[in-house]
Amino acid sequence: MNTMTTDELTIAIAVPLEAEYVEQIRAVDPSVTVLYEPGLLPPERFPADHAGDPAFKRTPEQEARYWAMLNRANVLYGFPNESPAGLARIAKSNPHLQWIHAMAAGAGGAVKASGLDTETLRKFHVTTSAGVHALPLAEFSAFGILNGFKRSAEMAQDQAAKFWPELRTPTKLANGSKVVIAGLGEIGMETARIARALGMRVSGTKRNVGTIEGIEEVTNNDGLPSLVADADAVVNTLPGTPYTEKLFNKDIFSAMKPGTVFVNVGRGTVVDEDALLEALDNGQVAYACLDVFAVEPLPQDSPLWNHPRVLVSPHTSALSAAENRLIAERFCSNLRTFLDGGELPHLVDPVHFY
């Protein structure tokens, strides 16, 4: 619960952001002070480039001004320098910090990577932009499922070889097929909505098991083997935590029926990539559409790059031209809640990091 009075609240914009969205934040409440110095922030190379141009360097005087600005604030929009190291530094240097809003939907990994202890992390809130990326990730998941069902990888190979097969191979209908979504949060539920629009039957996992309208069966992750046994497609939206690490292992892939399509838009650490490659080679997985990987950038020697039934996406499926606007709108909504003394949504757990 927020106990701060509004006349004390100062917000610092720590990452690149268009001036129109800064003004939108200022407009939430006249008592709020917003610190924004675009000359101290790296230019964006593309929409929602929260880290900005890596070639950008502050002078020593600018660097001092940047950190002085952040240390004046009670609330930060973005991690300093959009990095775990920046988070660690501000947590130690700003004693009146109360809340940081992260640009990522899954900011738990960055919070964990900061190395801050639980006691320090309990001194302020970290909220994520969960939900902002739900629609683009759900669309990408549908794209991956349809690619697998419609054999786009094989068609691309035939086209490259200028090969017209004598025997035509049928494709799979989405309508009537079953998809299992690991992680029925905002991203998972938006994926389910699109899947149902395609006529698919949807089941999935959730930490708190309960009935969800439109979802045939809901279990926790322990029930995943039985769910995937008759699935035509499986989508992972789960974050990377100690509890989800390599959840998709050899046992889970072996439980799938041959020819399953696998899509990962959650975190790469949730998947045992060696087990996935084995499943691709033995036919349990017919096609894998992957936006995230255990190590990023994906190492040059990874077999995933050249596998004929794998699509490698460089962790870009959540990006859209509307992202900065959507995150700013989410922050403004959260700010109003904060000022009114309400509970902030999408808080990062300082123990489990999700």
Residues labelled catalytic: 267, 296, 315
Identify the CA nearest to 146 among candidates 327, 2, 311, 301.
Answer: 311
137: helix, strand or coil: helix
341 secondary structure, DSSP code? T
Residue 56 CA to residue 15 CA, distance in Å, equals 13
Residue spans of beta strands (DSSP E) within the chain: 10-13, 33-35, 75-77, 99-101, 125-127, 178-182, 201-205, 218-219, 233-236, 260-264, 285-290, 310-312
Report d(CA 9, CA 31) in Å as an integer: 8
Q: Kindly report the backbone phi and psi dihedral angles of residue 297, in degrees, each rounded to the nearest multiple of 5, phi listed first.
A: -60, 155
Three-state secondary structure along 279-312?
HHHHCCEEEEEECCCCCCCCCCCCHHHHCCCEEE
CA–CA distance, 14 with 205 (Å, rounded to integer): 36
Please, is 49 exposed, middle or buried when counting C-beta atoms within 10 Å of its C-beta (0-12, 13-18, 19+)?
A: middle
Contact 225, 200 (CB under 8 A): no
Q: Which two tokens stand for residue 70?
A: 């952040």
**Distance in angstroms (rounded) separating the CA atoms of residues 212 and 84:** 36
- CA dist 60 and 57 (Å) reads 9
Which alpha helices (DSSP H) does 150-272 contain, by range? 152-160, 186-197, 224-228, 250-255
Beta-carbon neighbour count of residue 336 at 10 Å?
12
Task: Tell me the residue type at 119.
Answer: E
